[in-house]
């Protein structure tokens, strides 16, 4: 029977196996966020330029309250990955959100702090997010992106996103997932 997917699948990500990346000689670890990462994430936002925050949040930075942190880490709502310097979990350099929208659909949003932008990290994080989509039972990934955000649009296009049919300041980009669902996630 063809039932709509209900609720997230259990996520098979462990805290033991984290993908490692070497970016310009620095090792980075990407793993699911926990509430212990809240301060590192707040610090990372403070290092970001107003332009970077505008591109991510489309306005003033929302207050990164404890409630927001709980939402980021709530497995009923989605999954958030933090990327930090290896061995320095407080030194967060990027955050990846994959949050449920409606059944079968999840929204991806990336934030790479300014000093780490343009070095290929965003493209890798998008691949991690896509690999996690089956754990959210998502068949479509969406992203809201400023039409001027060449980097994010390039990442989405490379990942197979549809050409947005609309025009305007902010584009809603759709990325249908064609591969058969698998529980394999890059983080574990």
Ligand X SMILES: CC(C)(COP(=O)(O)OP(=O)(O)OC[C@H]1O[C@@H](n2cnc3c(N)ncnc32)[C@H](O)[C@@H]1OP(=O)(O)O)[C@@H](O)C(=O)NCCC(=O)NCCS
Binding site for ligand X (CB under 6 A): 52, 55-56, 109-112, 117-123, 143, 145, 149-152, 154-155, 158
Name the minimum Å distance from CB 122 to ligand X.
2
For residue 183, give both structure tokens.
Answer: 């529980």
Residues with Cβ within 8 Å of residue 4, at least 6 apart in sequence: 103, 104
Name the minimum Å distance from CB 147 to ligand X.
12
Least Cα distance to 102 among 77, 65, 130 occurs for: 77
Eight-state DSSP code of residue 130: H
Look at residue 59 and give its three-state secondary structure.
Answer: coil
Name the minimum Å distance from CB 16 to ligand X.
26
Shorter beta-carbon distance to ligand X: residue 2 or 167 = 167
Shorter beta-carbon distance to ligand X: residue 12 or 71 = 71
Name the minimum Å distance from CB 48 to ligand X.
8
Shorter beta-carbon distance to ligand X: residue 5 or 151 = 151
The Cα–Cα gap between 56 and 79 comes to 17
CB 122 within 8 Å of CB 71: no
Shorter beta-carbon distance to ligand X: residue 69 or 121 = 121
Least Cα distance to 153 among 133, 129, 170, 177 occurs for: 170
Name the minimum Å distance from CB 27 to ligand X.
16
Shorter beta-carbon distance to ligand X: residue 147 or 150 = 150
Name the minimum Å distance from CB 1 to ligand X.
36
Shorter beta-carbon distance to ligand X: residue 171 or 187 = 171
The Cα–Cα gap between 82 and 85 comes to 10
Look at residue 36 and give its three-state secondary structure.
Answer: helix
How do 140-146 and 105-112 pair as beta strands?
parallel
Position closest to ligand X via CB? 122
């Amino acid at each position: 029977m063809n039932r709509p997917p209900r609720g997230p699948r259990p996520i098979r990500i462990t805290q033991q196996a984290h993908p490692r990346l070497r970016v310009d000689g620095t090792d980075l670890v990407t793993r699911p966020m926990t509430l212990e990462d809240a301060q590192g994430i707040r610090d990372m936002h403070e290092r970001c330029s107003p332009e970077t925050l505008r591109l991510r949040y489309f306005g003033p930075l929302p207050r990164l309250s404890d409630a927001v942190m709980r939402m980021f880490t709530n497995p009923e709502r989605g999954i958030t990955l933090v990327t930090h310097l290896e061995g320095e979990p407080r030194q967060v350099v990027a955050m990846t959100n994959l949050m449920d929208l409606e059944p079968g659909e999840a929204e991806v949003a990336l934030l790479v702090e300014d000093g780490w932008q343009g070095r290929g990290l965003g493209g890798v994080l998008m691949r991690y997010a896509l690999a996690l989509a089956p754990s959210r039972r998502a068949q479509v990934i969406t992203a809201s992106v400023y039409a001027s955000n060449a980097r994010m649009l390039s990442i989405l296009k490379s990942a197979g996103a549809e050409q947005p049919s609309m025009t305007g300041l902010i584009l809603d980009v759709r990325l249908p997932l064609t591969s058969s669902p698998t529980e394999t996630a890059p983080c574990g």
